[in-house]
Amino acid sequence: MPPGLPGRPSAPTRGLPGGTPLRTVVRMPRAASAPTRYRRPVCAVVASAVLLLGAGCSGGSSPDGPRESRQDGPSSAGPSYPSAGPLEGPYEVRTQTVGPDDVGGRFRGGTVYYPADGSRDYGVIAASPGLGADQSMVQAYGALLASHGFVLITFDTKTPQDSPAQRGRQMLDALDWAAEHSAAAGRADPDRLGVMGHSMGGGAALHAASRDPRIKAAVPLTPYAGKRDWSGVTAATLVVSGSDDEVAPPSGHARAFYDGLDDAKEKAYLELKGDHFVATPPDRLVSRQTVAWFKHFVGGDKAAGEDLCPAPREERVVASRDTCPYG
C-alpha cells in the first residue's frame, strides 16, 4: 500500500437521488482556532507511524529562478491577518451531492459548491483528500471558495488507498464532470481550472497539473508524493507546509516539490508553524492566501496579488519563498 495519511471519517452525506442539486445556502464555518483544531483519530496516528518508517525524506533542489525571493521567519512588509474571523465571500453558495453512479464511476462521488448567482461564468476547482480520508477533509474549502466566486468539487476517491497519481487522474475527471455535467455546468468555465488537495491529495494536485495545461493554478497543502521532479507543471503553484510535519516533512516533500517546479513561472512556498494538519481546516491566513491565489491565477483578478506579495507578516510563518511580483 502506498504511504500517506488517513483522515477522519465523514458523517453520512444527505442528497437527492440522481445528483439532483440541493438548493441550500451554506453557512461558512468559523476560522479554526488552536483549541478546536482537527483531532486525528487513533487510526491516523498509527498510520502516520507506519508511514514514517517507510517514507524517505530525500529530494534535491533545483536552481532558483531569477525573480525568486526567500525569507526565513515572518516578513516585515507583508499583510497580517487575525487568526479568527468571518471567511465568507460575497456570494450565496448552493450545493449538489452526487454519488458514484452519477459520475459514471470515474470517482466515488462528491459535493459541488457553486455561487447561486448564475449571471456570469466561474473558474472550476477540484479538491482531493489524502490517504484514508474522505472529502470531509477538504470540504471547508468548498464553501469558502464558492463564496468567493468559484465552482468547486470535493470528491471521494475510488478507494481510500489510491496513490497520488491515481487521485490526480480522478481529479481531472472531477473537474470535467463539474464543468460539463453538474448543476453548476451552465456557469462553469472549462478553460479556467484549478486544483488543490491535502497530503496525497496535494500530490494529486501536482500530478493533475502536470497532465493538463488548462489548469491555471494549484495549491497543494502539506503535500505527499514519491515524486520530486515537477518540471511538467506550468500552473502557478502555492505550496503550503507545516514546520512540524512528521508525515510529509517539508525537506523531503513540500520544499522539495517547490524546488522541482522548474517550469512554473509563478510559484510560492509558505511554511507555517504546525503539523500535517496545519491547513485543514484553514485558518484566516491560509484562507486568505488560498482565495487570493485562485482569484489571481484562475479568476484573473490582478488586485488579489496585493494579498500575495510580499509574503504574509505573521509569527506563524516560519519561512517563505516566492517569485513575486506575479504577472
* Rounded Cα–Cα distance for residues 132 and 222 (Å): 15
pLDDT tens track for 139-178: 999 999 999 999 999 999 999 999 999 999 999 999 999 9
DSSP secondary structure code for residue 132 in this structure: T
- Report H helices in the chain: 42-54, 139-146, 164-180, 200-211, 254-259, 284-297
Assign domain 93-322 to its CATH superfamily.
Answer: Alpha/Beta hydrolase fold, catalytic domain (3.40.50.1820)
* Share of the chain residues as helix, strand and coil, in percent rounded to the nearest 5: 25, 20, 50
According to the model, what pLDDT value does residue 72 have?
A: 59
Residue 183 has pLDDT above 70, yes or no: yes
pLDDT tens track for 79-123: 544 455 447 899 999 999 999 999 999 999 999 999 999 999 999
* pLDDT level of residue 59 (50, 70, 90 thresholds): very low
* Rounded Cα–Cα distance for residues 187 and 94 (Å): 13
* Rounded Cα–Cα distance for residues 245 and 275 (Å): 4
Domain-wise residue ranges, the chain: 93-322
pLDDT tens track for 216-226: 999 999 999 99
Residues marked as catalytic: 199, 245, 276
Question: Which residue did the predictor score with more confidence, 76 or 324?
Answer: 324
Residue 205 has pLDDT above 80, yes or no: yes
According to the model, what pLDDT value does residue 314 have?
A: 87
* Rounded Cα–Cα distance for residues 221 and 35 (Å): 21
Q: What is the mean pLDDT of residues 229-258?
A: 97
